[in-house]
Structure 1
Amino acid sequence: MDQFQKARAVWIGNPREKYNQFAGFHTRLSLEKETEVTFKIAARSYYRLYINGEMAAHGPARSAKGYCRVDVIRRPLVGTCEIAVETAAYSKPEMYCNDCTMEPGMLTLEITDPDGKVLSATGEEGWTCGELLFRRSRVETMSHCRGIVEYYDLTPESFSWRMEGFTQRPVPAEEPDAYLKRRAPYPTLRRIPFPGIQSVCDIAPRDQEPKDTNLLLAGVVNQKWYGMIPPENRFLESLQREGDAPFTGKYREGIPGKGITVIPGRNPAAVYWALPASEVGFLDLTVQVEKPCVLDLISSDHLGRSGELAGNTYAARYCLQAGTYHLNTFEPKLVRYVKAVVRTNGKVQFQAPAVLDDTYPDEKRTVFSCSDGDLNRIFEAAWRTLRLNTLDIFMDCPERERGGWLCDSYFTSKGAWHLFGDLSVEKDFIENFMLTDPEKNWNGFFPEVYPGVRGADGDVGIRNWSFWLMLELCDYYERSGDREFIDRCRNRVERFMEGVLSLRGKSGLLEIPGSLFVDWSLSNSKAAMEPISVPVNCLAARMMDELGKLYDRADWRRTAEEMRGIIRGLDKGGIMSGSGDGAIVENTSGQIRLRRGECRTESGTALEIWSGFHLEDREYIRQFINAMGTCPKERPDPNIGRSNLFIGLMIRFDVLARLGRTEELIREWKDLYLEELRIGSGTFFEGVHASSGCHGFNAYTGCLIKEQILGLGELNQRTKTVRIAPHPGRLFWAYGSARCEDGMIFLRWSADQDEHVLDMQLLLPEGWKAEYEIPFELCGWLVWVNGEQIDWKTERGYVR
């Protein structure tokens, strides 16, 4: 898609650094009257737009290797306007990164007036550029799979280029294969101020070894890169060898909640700020230093057990000469707590610290509330977790990786539709994967995480993550009705299916070499996975059947049924009969025989049921419901491996919802999530025992709350229908809303527990229809909808 009239891709000529190049570009506009100006911007890896020295945008939306998405920014401007763009092109020898493709740097920018007339364009006259050497290029990385930390050497004149420009002219850069439209919305960059100073302390060395696994893993995975980092550019380990100590200096607080002046005493000094809950964005503050100062900005979503914010790999270091600076981190941070450490002999003044919001711009038009305050807290945290992990793509977590992981996205995408009423991020997300070259990826599969890079082409990582992408594609069609997009994906999907079917062995099941994943637990062990994973084959059978329906491929559906028959033949009497997750192939006298292994897990069981197996086995299902999960009613079998949150428990929650087991769901949600909220980050974690984290797949819990408690099911844009199936349980009332392309849907109900009356009010957009499924628990109740009584016996039926 051609997005530009005149602009061409450019970069800086003869950069000093081979890896991690930072470049600035500048032009000047003169507008006689106020004009709404449009900026079309494409860049690698990331850019930041400044207008008259003020930050105006940060991007771009990420895209597949070889492609660039175009951000479109509109601003009213008048007079002389200084336009500057800061760009970062990240790279390292290992070429391993989960949040960008690490392709060579480039910038394409075109500025037009309301009539489409080009006012300025890269590749044309009027642009200057320069290498931004005040940011160090050879420094440590934020994690094993991200780019480098921020390490600056600044003077008060370092940012003058944003207003004055350079003397060097940009040079042509290689054009992308194509420019793509950005569908995902833009972050607001609104200021989220820290409400006040939490504490002031000294920073003193401690005789302790760093325990941050991020730091250790980064060095192991990126050995070549770490071998190139000069000793003077390493500082993360020293931060982790320090701790808080009683304050020995002097301080003076300015306007309450706005500023503070600090003079360190015997040691470096630190100032703490905190937000009520976690946010994601750019740290923003003004600092004035009397003498040369080293400023470390340390941020996190949690404190340690001692209440300290320890040094971590997401810190930003600024070496400042005397003067005043307005600082914005270039990298977004996951922030609830911030500690500013100053190393200087002079006075340091901080003013107005804040976070500039770099998340999905949700207006909270879709809501949920009920008479159970704990459920409301869980829903709010699921919404926040979704918002912090959604922007241009669905991210698994907003800081350690910021990667578009498959499987995570299957559940996060449901959250985006149900809690945001938006499909734009999902369409961009899926499109990125569909643009991958099947001939350069193992067996035509899809990368486990994308856009990213994983060394040599071909290594897709976790094989069965591609199955989740295919199931998400099928769900996307139901959500959107977007047949044109589905048909555009067909060739890539068919090439993938060729690769899948080539993996069928003599057993008749998929015999997949390489990495597989069921759950962060015993389920991922060799004993449970090898030589053939039954749960993964169950997932594959469901995927083939769904894809067969989507693309009218009867052969795929026949293969799915053949595999189902083989898997059903492995079962010999239910969950307590010794059937494990793995299948063993025995070849006796030329006869191929399959039998299950002995390693059984809850997550494997959940995935098999989720994929459509064992549903007729009442004892199997009863024991799954009552003897598994976070707080089982019955004594769990010690020989069955327990589930972790990612992804076994989330699959379990979905199965319980399908079975109509709402009371069990509520009990397990409270058992799991209220403890995570007690820890205090305000978001949900990756694992049951995690001490911190913010992982987007937990958004699906918010969906299930709306579907199972309120009864407002997922909206089907294709058929313009919505399932209504409330489960009041012990609640007295609930209300909520959802958004589709045709407008808003509102549902509220009140439950008279004594008289057994449920009174619902439902408002649908024109052309939409409700499909009622009155649950078993409401048998014998009077059910009213908009003043009319429903006879539950004549509706679609109840869930037994």
Structure 2
Amino acid sequence: TAPCSILPQRNLLIRRVAYPRFLKRQPLAVVSQGKLQRDVPVTRLWKDRSLVNIGPKLKGYPESELQVVPSIELQKIRSASRESIDKPYRPDARIELSENEFSIVDLGTNLTGFIGASVRCTEPTKLYFTFDEILAQDDVNFRRLGCVNAVCYELKPGTYSLESFEPYTMRYLKLNVLEGSCEIENLYLREYANSETEEARFSCSDPRLNRIFEAARQTFKQNATDIFMDCPSRERAGWLCDSFFTSRVAFDLCGNTTIEKNLFENYLLPASFAHLPEGMLPMCYPADHYNGVFIPNWAMWFVIQLEEYQARSGDRELVAALRPRLEALYRYFQRFTNEDGLLEKLESWVFVEWSKANSFVQDVSYPSNMLYAAALAAGGRMYGEPDLIDQAEHIRAVIRRQSFDGEFFVDNAVRKDGQLQVTRNRTEVCQYFAFFFDVATRKTHGKLWDKLVHQFGPKRKQSKAFPEIHPANAFIGNYLRSELLSRYGYPAQIKDELVDFYLY
């Protein structure tokens, strides 16, 4: 008998979350078929960092050790001719493909799951499944998202029931035969998604809102199988800040906080987080951070979300257990407190949102300090620490004096010759931060609020109002805008803006 090693017993965590139903979703239509051209000259091959940056900070196998590099092989192939089919897909109808032929099928909507099919080949065959969420020039671009959306099978003659080992996200699936020939039938995607969302119901007389709700449900269920993810396709990572908004939706659609508890429990378990400064929380977790990068803002969102979790769940035990983590985090930030009590020259990836706002984060970022004040106040309320609440109010008062120019809040100040000088950089998202985190209210800054309500939002691009104020992005400025309209009682405007934002 061959010798074998015995691994030590591991204590597994309680799953808590219901398992997916793993329903099989079949394509709705055959979109097209055609011929492939091989050995297409490529002036400059695309090589992702996961292929070329392998080393101590990014684990994996160097390119020189790989026997097959699908991303390179696929870049040298293109669709040479295409015939539109646009007929309903029948699972019992065979798709017959010879060498250098392809067929594209449509699942009807973006879905996440395991690709499956019955494949019969009478000669050695190389079959590639490539996929994407959209069609680009009526074709599937396997690398549009900056990752390799492909599964390759090298098959000997025979009949196979295939199913991919890991889940992928797609609407369109392209079947490419590079060698040999085969017959494919019973295509499906075994759905990998949260099973608890179907209990939620929404229906109204406006079909546009019904469509948005179902898209939101799909987005959530594919990103919430055991932790909250930012996307089920490229990253599949449990990012903070994203989780603040997703956790609110989870309570609405699922009626529980089980996934959110998993998220916070993950941050509680390790004795420390390798490669990060003492006290700092990982920007996404579980994950490895060998390069030492972190987002200090995301750690602040962690605190904001934790207070909401306590209100949603009543789980004071977990909140109490995380207190040392928060205390260490506050100690970390104290190193950056300037003479005004504001955070200055924060380290690593200071992140406000995906917009021009991320260019205005040094030396003093006022949106970051607005968020910091809210995180201090949240900790003060959770743990009965009035000093934290007082510190938060002091920061808000300083921001009002320094950042508000009489019309808008300015994003940042820079240190010159030892003096802090407020810039003229102003963004839409900075205004939303001010109201969302109680630096401003409708009473204290009524004129600004009226401008934001009536002259900002999804139609400002057409109206060209306030072109000097850099526009917000969906994440997170537009989300904050919707939350603020909800807070202050503008349901009709929310309805209209949802259509403008999401059905453009």
TM-score normalised by L of structure 2:
0.90
In the alignment, does 2:175 pair up with 1:340? yes
In the alignment, does 2:28 pair up with 1:195? yes
Between the aligned partners of 1:376 and 1:469, the Cα distance in structure 2 is: 32
* SS at 1:450 equivalent: coil
Find the counterpart in structure 2 of residue 670 from structure 1. 499
Find the counterpart in structure 2 of residue 627 from structure 1. 455
Please, which of 510, 532, 544 is the counterpart of residue 376 of structure 2?
A: 544
Distance 1:586 1:271, change over 3 A: closer
Query: Where is the helix percentage greater, Structure 1 or Structure 2?
Result: 2
In the alignment, does 2:71 pair up with 1:236? yes
Residue 582 of structure 1 aligns with an amino acid whose one-letter code is N
Please, which of 225, 239, 246 is the counterpart of residue 405 of structure 1?
A: 239
Cα deviations by residue, 1:615-637 (Å, 9 ceiling, x for unpaired): 11111111222332221396422
Offset at 1:221? 4.1
Find the counterpart in structure 1 of residue 469 from structure 2. 640
Distance 1:497 1:190, change over 3 A: same
Offset at 1:345? 3.5
* SS at 1:275 equivalent: strand
Please, which of 410, 414, 426 is the counterpart of residue 580 of structure 1?
A: 410
Distance 1:649 1:350, change over 3 A: same
* SS at 2:34 equivalent: strand
* SS at 1:464 equivalent: helix
Is the contact made by 1:197 and 1:274 (CA closer than 8 Å) also made in structure 2?
yes
* SS at 2:392 equivalent: helix
* SS at 1:199 equivalent: strand
Find the counterpart in structure 2 of residue 494 from structure 1. 327
Distance 1:211 1:434, change over 3 A: farther
Query: Where is the strand percentage greater, Structure 1 or Structure 2?
Result: 1
Is the contact made by 2:16 and 2:259 (CA closer than 8 Å) also made in structure 1?
yes
Is the contact made by 2:273 and 2:281 (CA closer than 8 Å) also made in structure 1?
no
Cα deviations by residue, 1:447-471 (Å, 9 ceiling, x for unpaired): 0111111216xx2511110111111
Offset at 1:362? 2.6
Distance 1:170 1:286, change over 3 A: farther
Offset at 1:263? 4.6
Find the counterpart in structure 2 of residue 781 from structure 1. none
Distance 1:230 1:594, change over 3 A: closer
Residue 414 of structure 1 aligns with an amino acid whose one-letter code is R
Is the contact made by 1:464 and 1:536 (CA closer than 8 Å) also made in structure 2?
yes
Find the counterpart in structure 1 of residue 389 from structure 2. 557
Find the counterpart in structure 2 of residue 567 from structure 1. 399
Find the counterpart in structure 2 of residue 185 from structure 1. 18
* SS at 1:310 equivalent: coil
* SS at 1:361 equivalent: coil
Please, which of 309, 312, 318 is the counterpart of residue 140 of structure 2?
A: 309
Distance 1:229 1:192, change over 3 A: farther
Equivalent residues in 2 for 1:651-690, closer than 5 Å: 651-675=480-504
In the alignment, does 2:431 pair up with 1:431? no
Between the aligned partners of 1:521 and 1:566, the Cα distance in structure 2 is: 25
Equivalent residues in 2 for 1:242-253, closer than 5 Å: 242-246=77-81
Which structure 1 residue ranges, 5 or more long, are not aligned?
Answer: 1-166, 676-800
* SS at 1:537 equivalent: helix
Between structure 1 and structure 2, the one with the greater Rg is 1
Distance 1:533 1:375, change over 3 A: same
Distance 1:430 1:618, change over 3 A: same
Is the contact made by 2:52 and 2:63 (CA closer than 8 Å) also made in structure 1?
no
Distance 1:571 1:271, change over 3 A: closer
* SS at 1:367 equivalent: coil
Find the counterpart in structure 2 of residue 695 from structure 1. none
Between the aligned partners of 1:356 and 1:572, the Cα distance in structure 2 is: 53
Cα deviations by residue, 1:389-432 (Å, 9 ceiling, x for unpaired): 11111000001000000110000111111112121111001111
In the alignment, does 2:223 pair up with 1:389? yes
Is the contact made by 1:273 and 1:339 (CA closer than 8 Å) also made in structure 2?
yes
Please, which of 586, 595, 599 is the counterpart of residue 425 of structure 2?
A: 599
* SS at 2:296 equivalent: coil
Find the counterpart in structure 1 of residue 160 from structure 2. 325
Find the counterpart in structure 1 of residue 112 from structure 2. 280
Offset at 1:438? 4.1
Between the aligned partners of 1:529 and 1:197, the Cα distance in structure 2 is: 49
Please, which of 272, 276, 300 is the counterpart of residue 132 of structure 2?
A: 300
* SS at 1:545 equivalent: helix
Cα deviations by residue, 1:653-709 (Å, 9 ceiling, x for unpaired): 21222222333323322122012xxxxxxxxxxxxxxxxxxxxxxxxxxxxxxxxxx
Cα deviations by residue, 1:331-356 (Å, 9 ceiling, x for unpaired): 1010211111112334x121211111
Distance 1:613 1:534, change over 3 A: same
TM-align CA RMSD: 2.6
Cα deviations by residue, 1:758-785 (Å, 9 ceiling, x for unpaired): xxxxxxxxxxxxxxxxxxxxxxxxxxxx
Between the aligned partners of 1:419 and 1:246, the Cα distance in structure 2 is: 45
Between the aligned partners of 2:153 and 2:194, the Cα distance in structure 1 is: 29
Equivalent residues in 2 for 1:66-85, closer than 5 Å: none
Cα deviations by residue, 1:21-41 (Å, 9 ceiling, x for unpaired): xxxxxxxxxxxxxxxxxxxxx
Which structure 2 residue ranges, 5 or more long, are not aligned?
Answer: none
Is the contact made by 2:300 and 2:371 (CA closer than 8 Å) also made in structure 1?
yes
Is the contact made by 2:413 and 2:422 (CA closer than 8 Å) also made in structure 1?
yes
Between the aligned partners of 2:178 and 2:463, the Cα distance in structure 1 is: 58
Offset at 1:314? 1.8
Is the contact made by 1:438 and 1:495 (CA closer than 8 Å) also made in structure 2?
no
Residue 445 of structure 2 aligns with an amino acid whose one-letter code is D
Is the contact made by 1:210 and 1:241 (CA closer than 8 Å) also made in structure 2?
no
Offset at 1:316? 0.8
Cα deviations by residue, 1:230-251 (Å, 9 ceiling, x for unpaired): 4641121331332223379xx9
Residue 640 of structure 1 aligns with an amino acid whose one-letter code is I
Distance 1:612 1:209, change over 3 A: farther
TM-score normalised by L of structure 1:
0.58
Offset at 1:594? 4.2
Find the counterpart in structure 2 of residue 700 from structure 1. none
Please, which of 474, 483, 489 is the counterpart of residue 307 of structure 2?
A: 474
Is the contact made by 2:403 and 2:412 (CA closer than 8 Å) also made in structure 1?
no
How many residue pairs get matched? Answer: 489
Between the aligned partners of 1:195 and 1:435, the Cα distance in structure 2 is: 44
Cα deviations by residue, 1:697-731 (Å, 9 ceiling, x for unpaired): xxxxxxxxxxxxxxxxxxxxxxxxxxxxxxxxxxx
Between the aligned partners of 1:665 and 1:280, the Cα distance in structure 2 is: 29
Residue 665 of structure 1 aligns with an amino acid whose one-letter code is I
* SS at 1:454 equivalent: coil
Is the contact made by 1:575 and 1:620 (CA closer than 8 Å) also made in structure 2?
yes
